[in-house]
Structures are given as C-alpha cells and as structure tokens.
Amino acid sequence: MEPTEQPEEIKEIGTDDLTAYHYAYTSKPDPEKYIKKRLRDTDYELQNLGRGIAHYKQKSTGDNYYSIKGTNLHQMKDLISDVKLGLGISRGDKQFIRRTNQMKNYIKDNTGDHHIMGHSLGGSIGTSMMSKSKTIRDNVKSATFYNTGYTPSFHKELTTGMTPKTARELNKKVTHHHVIGDPISMFLGSGAVGKVKKYQNNIVNPLDKHSMSFFSR
C-alpha cells in the first residue's frame, strides 16, 4: 500500500504578525522576498506591498487583510502627518487622504471580506478612514489597530458631527490594542473611537512599549 501523504502543517499567524511584517518595506533590502518567506506555510499570501498599505489574502477564506504602516522617522511626510493628527487637523493631510482613497480602490477591486490593521500612525489613519468614510466603514468587517497614535484633539476631530449610529458601528468593528505606558497611544485610555484593550507589562523603555514586537511573534 502506498503511504498516504501527510498534509502540510499550517503555521498560525494573526493580524499582529501581518502588521509587523509590513515594516520590512523600510527595514529589509528585499522586503517582498522577506515577507513571502515569513508567510510560507501560513494561510496568507502577499498580494501587493506598498509603502503605505500592504494587501494580504487569506487562502482558506478569500478574505482581504490590509496593513497600514506606521511612521518612518526618515520620511518627512510621515512626521508632518504625526504633527497634524496630534493637533487634530488631519482631515486635510495628503497622506490621510491618499491612504483613504487607496483603501476605497482596494475594496472596489477585490472580492471577499475586508479587514484593516495598522500600527501607530497606521492605526491613526485607519481609525480616521473608518470614522470619515461610509464606503470603507460599510465594507470593512473588522479593523484592528496596535498602539494607535491618539490625542484628545484627534479624538475631537474624529467624533465632531458623528451620529450615535456611526459610533455604535465603529464600536463593533474597531478594536485598539494599547500597551499601558506607551506614550504614543496613552490617550486611548481616556476614550477612543472603537473598543480599547489594555495590556499590563513590565517593559521599562517607552519605545519598546510602542513597538509591534510586543504583539507579534
């Protein structure tokens, strides 16, 4: 009797890993090769890798996962976006507008459910597009953000004119993961658009508290 071939073991990863892998865009000499290697033997494959958004497809379900990358300290446009969200004037920021339009196109061009992830500035941009774009909000099944850049002024900008119905929808779909003591996302603890999950930790360095390495494998 011929020996039966054993199915390959699927390595389980989550939205935290997919979000972390996106940073290879600026940290690895061949980011696409690096990410595809990390996705080997997983249920996900890389569809498109961009500076702002990476698109992954879950093979078993056909679901789409979009990662929005956080700040690159060597990119002035990222630093400008950080300042504007901190002051609560991100509405006219070119990068916020560009990422929102890109997401609308991804949703239009791809079948299956849609999920958004982001870290730091990426979480801020993702929260903004979920709050301000009905097209994105209606078509995205879940939005998961890690240590989102958040300030009282940004919160006011997002929620001014927001209807109770929209607030309820966002509370169902948006989840922020916040490491207690992270200075960038510290204001999530006093109220945010969506749900907030807080994580106790013994990390001393504030930069390490903010890093995706706290969440990803």
Collapsed DSSP state (helix, strand, coil) of residue 91: helix
CATH number at residue 161: 3.40.50
How long a stretch of residues is the chain? 217
Residue 203 has pLDDT above 60, yes or no: yes
User: Does the residue 19 lie in any domain?
Assistant: no
User: Does the residue 190 lie in any domain?
Assistant: yes
What is the percent of the chain where pLDDT is above 70? 95
Question: What is the structure's pLDDT at 8?
Answer: 56
83, 53, 211: which is closest to 146 by C-alpha? 211
Say if residue 175 is exposed, middle or buried (CB neighbours under 10 Å; 0-12, 13-18, 19+).
middle
Residue 112 has pLDDT above 70, yes or no: yes
Low-confidence winner among 9-23, 158-172, 173-187 (lowest mean pLDDT): 9-23
Confidence band, pLDDT 50/70/90 cuts, at residue 6? very low
Residue 130 has pLDDT above 50, yes or no: yes
* Residue with token string 């061949």: 30
User: Does the residue 75 lie in any domain?
Assistant: yes
Average pLDDT over residues 63-85: 95
Total tally of structural domains belonging to the chain = 1
User: Does the residue 157 lie in any domain?
Assistant: yes
Q: pTM higher than 0.85, yes or no?
A: yes
Question: What is the structure's pLDDT at 217?
Answer: 61
User: Does the residue 130 lie in any domain?
Assistant: yes
User: Does the residue 147 lie in any domain?
Assistant: yes
Low-confidence winner among 35-39, 61-65, 72-76 (lowest mean pLDDT): 72-76
C-beta of residue 67 within 8 angstroms of C-beta of residue 39: no
Which amino acid appears at position 208 of this protein? D
Q: Residue 102 sits in which domain range? A: 36-214
Question: What is the structure's pLDDT at 64?
Answer: 98
User: Does the residue 100 lie in any domain?
Assistant: yes
User: Does the residue 15 lie in any domain?
Assistant: no
